[in-house]
Amino acid sequence: MLRCPVCQSEKDERSFIETYVSFFNNQEYKLYHCETCDLQWWEPLKIIPEFYEMEGNEAYELFHMGLREEIGENHRMFFKYIPLKSGRLLDVGCGDGVFLKEAQKAGFEVWGIDFDSKSIKVCQEKWGLKNTFAMSPQEFAEFCQKEGLKFDVITFFEVLEHQDKPVEFLEAIKSMLKPEGYIAGSVPNRESWMIKKGRKLYPHGDSPPHHFLRFSKIALGNFYKRVGFTDVFVEATSVKTTEVVPYFQVLITGTNINKLFRKTITTHELAGEGTTIFRELPAWRKAVFKGLKGLRFFIFFIPALIVKFTTEGIYLYFQCKS
């Protein structure tokens, strides 16, 4: 028998709802659904830290090159909803530090940790974020205990779904919070149309050993209440037609056309708007890129508009109080 990693409800090993064979390690994984707390999780449930530095997902190539410059809608929700406007902030899984540099601008004293030492190097060298460390949450929690270090708010955006021991992860987070401190962050929204379609277009993105846990609003709320947080707030990010349109195009043309388009116009297949490479492009290349995006938007606007009003956003933003 298996046990749900959140509520410990028993699950028959034969009751999996999906299988997946990873390109990274050729391991077969099985997906289970807990009827008690609504979590979905993959077995075998074992994180592989080297997956990130070895760029098992192309997003980490983007992090390691230090190309990103803009935060996402999930990060903007933090600045919209968190009642704190200053204080000591720790970002767990800080990646390339794009969110941290914005939090610093907003008035927070920022700290960050990540498994991925290459991303931490970008934090330090590109953004000058000195209080950033290549450590696990458990390792950093021990460091904080020795140093008497506590935080007003701890954030983790797209981190919880990577965990193989989510309750232990939250216990480590709680140990670093001040009394009445906050946590905030986001996870992929398994009920979003874009997430469901994204699994077909990019099958490695929401599967192990990249993601191990899948959350709904109910599952996420249940989790935080179960581990002792209060004032639990969960809200899906907004759906914008501009982010839906590419899904329709890729469904028709495939992913390689998008990469070829980016590489031809911007010189790199990952260099879209909001990256350093794009910002430094000649004006004519930017104009061609935006013109072709505009044409795509015109072609797929109507179906994208329908999706906008019939689904939830890609991420579930959350914040709670200790």
Peptide bond into 44 cis (omega under 30): yes
Q: What is the CATH number of the domain that holds 67?
A: 3.40.50.150
pLDDT at 53: 62
Of 13 and 52, the one with more pLDDT: 13
- Domain match, 64 and 212 both: yes
- Domain match, 247 and 302 both: yes
**Contact predicate 196/307, CB 8 Å:** no
- Domain match, 80 and 169 both: yes
Residue type, 172: A
- Domain match, 73 and 19 both: no
Please give the angle made by the CA atoms of 190, 69 and 160, to the nearest 5 degrees. Answer: 30
- Domain match, 154 and 103 both: yes
At 261-283, the pLDDT tens digits run 888 898 887 778 888 888 889 99
For the cut 80, the answer to whether the pLDDT of residue 55 exceeds it is no
For the cut 60, the answer to whether the pLDDT of residue 56 exceeds it is no
Of 129 and 198, the one with more pLDDT: 129
pLDDT at 62: 67
pLDDT at 115: 86
For the cut 80, the answer to whether the pLDDT of residue 66 exceeds it is no
pLDDT at 60: 63
pLDDT at 59: 65
- Domain match, 124 and 229 both: yes
- Domain match, 114 and 35 both: no
Token couple for 105: 């601008």
At 91-112, the pLDDT tens digits run 999 999 999 999 999 999 999 9
pLDDT at 167: 95
Percentage of the chain lying above the pLDDT 90 cut: 76
**Region 125-154 average pLDDT:** 95
pLDDT at 58: 60
pLDDT at 233: 97
- Domain match, 291 and 303 both: yes
Token couple for 102: 């914005």
- Domain match, 59 and 130 both: yes
pLDDT at 61: 72
The reported pTM is 0.91
**Region 21-34 average pLDDT:** 93
**Region 210-232 average pLDDT:** 95
- Domain match, 161 and 191 both: yes
For the cut 70, the answer to whether the pLDDT of residue 313 exceeds it is yes
For the cut 80, the answer to whether the pLDDT of residue 318 exceeds it is yes
- Tokens 């270090």 — which residue? 149
At 142-170, the pLDDT tens digits run 999 999 999 999 999 999 999 999 999 99
pLDDT at 54: 60
- Domain match, 13 and 132 both: no
Token couple for 4: 């749900």
- Domain match, 224 and 297 both: no
For the cut 70, the answer to whether the pLDDT of residue 222 exceeds it is yes
pLDDT at 42: 98
Split into its structural domains, the chain has a count of 3
pLDDT at 282: 93
Cα→Cα distances 142→136, 175, 261, 288, Å: 10, 9, 47, 51
Considering only CA atoms, which of 243, 249, 230 is closest in space to residue 321?
230
Considering only CA atoms, which of 236, 150, 257 is closest in space to residue 192?
236
In terms of residue numbers, what domain contains 289? 241-308
